[in-house]
């Protein structure tokens, strides 16, 4: 299988490279796409010998000139990523850019009917309807990579879809799960990115701390599995060993368990059957001891209350929810706002946006830009 990896230089991209290298007989790199991290890209190119390297940032591409292994060609810009994602030489695209910036190249792969491993949840939150409709039209196989959604996929496989009564995503609760809410305004970006169980990029780590991640994942599940909000819920599970559960009409609940390491869902997306060796540590439940669960407290995590409103509204709300969060999350990481301002900024932006149906990509970008502008205004007010 010839792979194009979008976001190759990131956390998911590097875990994908690890799985590819474990199975050189099955996977080769057609194209690796990064943004600014030319040093990481050089290391990956020397390991995987792709036919193409693309840096969406032109300066980063310049820094790579003359350094890539022979046989690897260099391009720059998002258009090159869009083109290579749809190229006939690409069999599978791993969609692991961060944010709605990843939508154009991922959608290009979907429209070209590729197998798409979807880590980039922001694509579905921003344009779920258009994205899934495009997949139905092209025959693209969209396979979840997000750990909870990969778990749901496994718990649904071979079972009657109409018998599903509830899909339950687990949430670690992030680094501030047990912290006094009165102290949350003072937490630092360093504390927020220190996830207790997963080693991830900075943006998603902050999303886990605010629980925006779980809110985005409920919307992601809605589109991936075609479920109404009533059939979707989340439960706190501090150990991140059970990734999701699917409850059936007869009261049976199927769960998927694995150690928290993204190479497992990545390997499953790359080849579900027969299963691939992924390199993750074996789960030893006797060593783990106990698995704990408790209800999500929406007062501690207001993002989880907001998403209920968003899921029951039209798609403009979902676009604004994501875009405002991207702006506020970055502002927090840049120390321009406090941690507690992240979700309150999203809430304020939502209160300024009409709930309207969205039918085209042009409309998607209009709502996305409007919400970004509003979020900047809220932050600088
Ligand atoms: N990490 C994880 O365990 C999980 C991640 N996900 C999702 O996967 C996606 C990637 O997450 P993660 O790997 O953690 O993120 P990282 O921050 O580690 O990596 C992000 C990748 O996107 C690239 N990138 C950043 N900005 C842009 C841009 N404007 N245009 C094009 N490319 C860009 C980066 O390039 P560069 O570094 O070269 O600048 C990098 O390759 C996110 O949507 C996240 O929610 C989902 C489940 C788990
Ligand atoms: C690994 C993965 O899929 C992340 O989305 C992870 O779930 C984040 O953990 P929490 O959002 O549950 O803290
Ligand atoms: Mn997840």
Determine how many CB atoms are found less than 10 A away from the CB of residue 175.
19
Atom of ligand 2 nearest to the CA of 213: 11
Q: How far apart are CA 176 and CA 339, in angstroms?
A: 11
Residue 82 CB contacts under 8 Å (≥ 6 apart), including other chains: 104, 105, 108
Residue 172 in contact with ligand 1 by CB distance below 6 A: no
Q: Measuring from atom 1 of ligand 2, which residue has the nearest CA?
A: 147
Q: What is the pLDDT of residue 265?
A: 98
Tens of pLDDT, residue by residue over 111-164, are: 999 999 999 999 999 999 999 999 999 999 999 999 999 999 999 999 999 999
Residue 304: pLDDT band (50, 70, 90) is very high
Tens of pLDDT, residue by residue over 218-235, are: 999 999 999 999 999 999
Q: What is the pLDDT of residue 135?
A: 98
Ligand 2 pocket, residues with Cβ under 6 angstroms: 146-148, 171-172, 174, 198, 208, 213-214, 262
Query: Domains in the chain and their CATH numbers?
Result: 2-144 (3.40.50.720), 149-260+277-380 (1.10.1740.10)
Q: What is the pLDDT of residue 362?
A: 98
* Nearest ligand to the CA atom of 44: 1
Q: How far apart are CA 185 and CA 204, in angstroms?
A: 19
Tens of pLDDT, residue by residue over 17-45, are: 999 999 999 999 999 999 999 999 999 99
Q: What is the pLDDT of residue 348?
A: 98
* Nearest ligand to the CA atom of 194: 2
Q: How far apart are CA 318 and CA 58, in angstroms?
A: 31
Name the percent of the chain in helix, strand, coil, to the closest 5: 50, 15, 35
* Nearest ligand to the CA atom of 195: 2
Task: Establish whether this prediction's ipTM goes over 0.85.
Answer: yes
The mean pLDDT value of the chain amounts to 98
Q: Are 12 and 145 in contact (CB under 8 A)?
A: yes
CA distances from 142 to 92, 193, 195, 340 (A): 10, 29, 28, 35
Q: How far apart are CA 184 and CA 52, in angstroms?
A: 45
Tokens representing residue 61 in the block: 């591409």
* Strand extents, DSSP E, 35-129: 52-55, 73-76, 92-95, 115-118
pTM: 0.98
Q: What is the pLDDT of residue 111?
A: 98
Tens of pLDDT, residue by residue over 64-115, are: 999 999 999 999 999 999 999 999 999 999 999 999 999 999 999 999 999 9
Question: What is the 218 CA–ligand 2 centroid distance (Å)?
Answer: 12
**Strand 52-55 relative to strand 73-76, pairing:** parallel
Residue 234 CB contacts under 8 Å (≥ 6 apart), including other chains: 168, 169, 170, 171, 214, 217, 218, 296, 304
Question: What is the 180 CA–ligand 1 centroid distance (Å)?
Answer: 30
Q: What is the pLDDT of residue 153?
A: 98
Q: What is the pLDDT of residue 29?
A: 98
Determine how many CB atoms are found less than 10 A away from the CB of residue 312.
12
Q: What is the pLDDT of residue 209?
A: 98
Share of the chain above pLDDT 70, in %: 100
Q: Which of 12, 150, 200 to mutate to test the pocket of ligand 2 (most atoms within 8 A of CB)?
A: 200
Tens of pLDDT, residue by residue over 343-373, are: 999 999 999 999 999 999 999 999 999 999 9
Question: What is the 55 CA–ligand 1 centroid distance (Å)?
Answer: 13
Q: What is the pLDDT of residue 309?
A: 97
Burial 251-285 (b: 16+ CB within 10 A, else e): eeebbbebbbbbbbbbbbbbbeeeebebebeeeee
Residue 201 in contact with ligand 1 by CB distance below 6 A: yes
Taking alpha carbons only, the member of 219, 189, 220, 224 closest to residue 206 is 189
Binding annotation for 1-deoxy-D-xylulose 5-phosphate: 121, 147-148, 172, 195, 208, 213-214, 217
Q: How far apart are CA 80 and CA 113, in angstroms?
A: 18
């Amino acid at each position: 299988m010839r792979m194009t990896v979008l976001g190759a230089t990131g956390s998911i991209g590097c875990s994908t490279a690890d799985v590819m290298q474990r199975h050189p007989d099955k996977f080769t790199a057609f194209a690796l796409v990064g943004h600014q991290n030319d040093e990481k890209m050089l290391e990956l190119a020397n390991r995987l010998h792709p036919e193409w390297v693309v840096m969406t940032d032109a300066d980063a591409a310049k820094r790579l000139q003359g350094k890539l292994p022979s046989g690897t060609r260099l391009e720059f810009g998002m258009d090159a990523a869009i083109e290579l994602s749809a190229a006939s030489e690409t069999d599978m695209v791993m969609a692991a850019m961060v944010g709605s910036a990843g939508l154009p190249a991922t959608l290009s792969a979907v429209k070209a009917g590729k197998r798409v491993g979807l880590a980039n949840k922001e694509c579905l939150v921003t344009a779920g309807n258009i994205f899934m409709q495009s997949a139905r039209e092209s025959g693209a196989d969209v396979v979840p990579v997000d750990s909870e959604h990969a778990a749901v996929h496994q718990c649904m496989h071979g079972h009657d879809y109409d018998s599903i009564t509830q899909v339950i995503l687990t949430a670690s609760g992030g680094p501030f799960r047990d912290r006094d809410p009165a102290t949350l305004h003072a937490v630092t970006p360093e504390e927020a990115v220190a996830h207790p169980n997963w080693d991830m990029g900075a943006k998603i780590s902050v999303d886990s701390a605010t629980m925006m991640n779980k809110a985005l994942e409920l919307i992601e599940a809605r589109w991936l599995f075609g479920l109404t909000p009533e059939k979707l819920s989340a439960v706190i599970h501090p150990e991140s060993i059970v990734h999701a559960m699917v409850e059936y009409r007869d009261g049976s609940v199927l769960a998927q368990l694995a150690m928290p390491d993204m190479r497992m869902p990545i390997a499953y997306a790359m080849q579900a059957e027969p299963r691939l060796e992924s390199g993750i540590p074996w789960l030893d439940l006797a060593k783990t001891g106990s698995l704990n669960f408790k209800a999500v407290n929406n007062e501690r995590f207001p993002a989880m209350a907001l998403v209920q409103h968003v899921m029951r509204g039209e798609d403009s709300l979902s676009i604004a929810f994501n875009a405002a969060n991207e702006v506020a999350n970055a502002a927090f990481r840049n120390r321009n706002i406090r941690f507690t301002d992240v979700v309150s900024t999203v809430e304020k932006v939502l209160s300024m946006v009409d709930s309207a149906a969205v039918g085209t990509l042009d409309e998607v970008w209009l709502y996305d830009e409007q919400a970004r502008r509003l979020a900047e205004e809220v932050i600088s007010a």
